[in-house]
Amino acid sequence: MPKCVVEVSVQAVYFQCARALLRSSLWSAEQPANRPEVPTAGQMLAAVTDGMVGGKAYDDDLPQRQAKTLY
């Protein structure tokens, strides 16, 4: 039985920081196998824009975009 509980309510997510997403290593193969499945950037964008932005094409182009624009 837990002795305390912390409830977190997210009011805003600043998705525009590609460097932060890349540095987080959320999609790294070295992450522990027992972590919950994390949707890709394209999947998240597609979900919040009703499919108007994002998806597989976004994810496929992401590494090239990051290499050209991050630094």
Q: What is the pLDDT of residues 7-21, one digit of tens each?
A: 999 887 776 677 777
Please give the average per-residue pLDDT across 27-53, as a whole number: 79
Q: Residue 58 pLDDT > 70, yes or no?
A: yes
* Alpha carbon distances (Å) from 71 to 8, 11, 19, 31, 48: 33, 29, 9, 25, 27
DSSP letter for 68, please: H
The residue whose two tokens read 């994390």 is 38
Please give the average per-residue pLDDT across 28-53, as a whole number: 79
Predicted local distance difference test score (pLDDT) of residue 34? 58
Q: What's the predicted TM-score (pTM) here?
A: 0.55
Predicted local distance difference test score (pLDDT) of residue 31? 62
Please give the average per-residue pLDDT across 9-35, as a whole number: 71
